[in-house]
Amino acid sequence: MNFDSFSESLEVLEKTPGRLELAQRLAALLRELTPGETSRALYMVQGQLLPSFDGEPMGMAGSLLLRAIGRALDSRGVTCSDSELKALLAEAGDPGILAERLLPPNEGAGESLIEVYERLLAISRLSGSGSQEEKILHLARVLSGGSPLSARFVCRFVMGRLRLGVGDATILDALTLTVLDASPDDERAWKKGRKSVREEIEGAYNLCSDLGRVGAVLREEGRDGIRRIAPSVGYPIRMALCERLGSGEEIIAKLKEAAVESKYDGFRCQVHCDGTRVRLFSRNLEETTGMFPEIARAASELFSGRSAIFEGEALGYDAENESFHPFQVTITRKRKHNVLEKSEEIPLKCLVFDLLYLDGLSLMERPFAQRRKILEEIFPVTVRGIADRELPPDGVFGASRLIVTDDPHKVDLFFDEVVEEGFEGVIAKRLDGVYAAGSRNFNWIKLKRSYKSALSDTVDLALIGYYRGKGLRTKLGIGAVLGAVLDPESGEFQSVARIGSGLTEEGWRDLRAILDDLRTEGPPPGVVSGLVPDFWVHPSIVVTVLADELTRSPTHRAGRGEGEEEGFALRFPRMVSGPRADKKAEEATTVPEIRRLYDLQRQRSTGRSSGEP
């Protein structure tokens, strides 16, 4: 496909308001592409050049981009001084719009989608002395070689501001539609088939976390190829997630017998070893190998000549007191600079809780009890010391501490012990449960110390808008944010709270600076809200929020079913963290979780009113 034609399709996607229609139009585009074009197109509509775990968006500085636009104009015989460009940019407000307005139409056919993609990838890899000038030169050639519309999208792409509203769920839906007939004869059978295809495609994505790869395989090999995608070292597996319950009694009622582990408060790590190389991935699939060298080094020594994928929690270690640091200390290890100095100051221990792959074989479909047995043959079991607390392992790695029980009282006692030691709570696991990549189900159930509050837990909200500051916050330019939860069925981000407290003045300023770069003209695709903020933003930022309670609301849309007049809302919400670097918007709290938290809250309220303890 010609890149100019691809840009025309991007413009169509940009103007499409609804998520279902967006998926349909993306599917129409994908049907026109070859498998090689498909992977590149899918990366680009996400605003990236590679899977998120293999690279970062280009994020080119605005000043360099402006110089590239000027160079492209020169090559097309258009004279425009730097001062004139800056004045015109201030008027346009968007480098992409500026380039589109100034560049004359190109009479040639222009380059192909693959050629432009490869040029941008090469530009992103330029580094070292003189690389800035090289980037400007090569980008100017890309801008001058296509249509004015193509220049608009290239500029937005290299600045990291493409933001078409195309998330993972939309791409999965679009890929599903490419397999099915557009005009079904039997609507009921078509919907059933759609669900089956969607589950297969999502299952493949959960195993490799690479939508470009999934799309290319689907277009070239069909559903048979999708079914052959399996866990492999170097492709992070989308991590299993927990459901929530409120007591040991509820957990045992659900699982009958369970393995109950300490829930540590650190960095979740998925470690990949191929015998010669080690890579570490965070819970949002960002590569963190360089940040945690002691874990990478220890894994390389432990699995020399072997392949493995395992998961654990990395915690800061206090050698003087032979204990773990609190999360506020551990979090300081997440950095890209001065890593070695910080690793000496705060070394890490990794407590391993699951083994997914070993020596070329996937263990994910095996029962947890079997996976745990193999895990304990490799990693030393974490034990309690004479001070009646959990001791860090002697080396970097240790198996997480757990008990196996069918007694609710023992679950609650273990929970109390863990909280007393300073950890978050416990996770109960179904003994015969498989590892459900990318899924949230009752194979894993978390019970946290915050469940003792009025609202069962903190919630993670995706920000979808913000309000101008009033009174003392006028100077900040932001007074509150609008938060949403994710409906996994529809893929919608549904409003649940307007939050105006919890951050310092500096925190509000920093948040506004981030949100300003995410602003959209109207509600982004897939965002629904009963409140209209002063500024809408693309749902990319997640914040953790605590509230007094959950209520039903005629204003907010979270969990409002068809024909219902009320959704859910948070009462007196306040942020307990700024933007979460470890979470994507798609990992925000979901509507089903909100429903369960509301039910738990009502159960406790009923118990108190009836005189129960």
- Structural tokens at position 362: 């996937």
Catalytic-role residue among 15, 192, 263, 475 = 263
Dihedral class, residue 533 (left if φ above 0, else alpha if ψ from -120 to 50, else beta): beta
- Structural tokens at position 84: 């004139």
Q: Is 263 a catalytic residue?
A: yes
Q: How many CB atoms lie within 10 A of CB 397?
A: 21
- Which whole-number Å values give the CA distances from 613 to 34, 277, 420, 606, 608, in the listed order? 64, 54, 21, 11, 7
DSSP category for residue 93: -
| Distance (Å, whole) CA 482 – CA 464 | 6
| Distance (Å, whole) CA 66 – CA 443 | 52
| DSSP H or E run through 99 | helix 95-102
- Which whole-number Å values give the CA distances from 25 to 21, 170, 177, 193, 528, in the listed order? 6, 10, 10, 20, 20
DSSP category for residue 141: H
CB crowding 168-193: b at 16 or more within 10 Å, else e: bbbbbbbbbbbbeeeeeeeeeeeeeb
3-state secondary structure 15-34: CCCCHHHHHHHHHHHHHCCC
| Distance (Å, whole) CA 187 – CA 191 | 6
Q: How many whole angstroms from its chain centre is CA 342?
A: 26
What is the set of active-site residues? 263
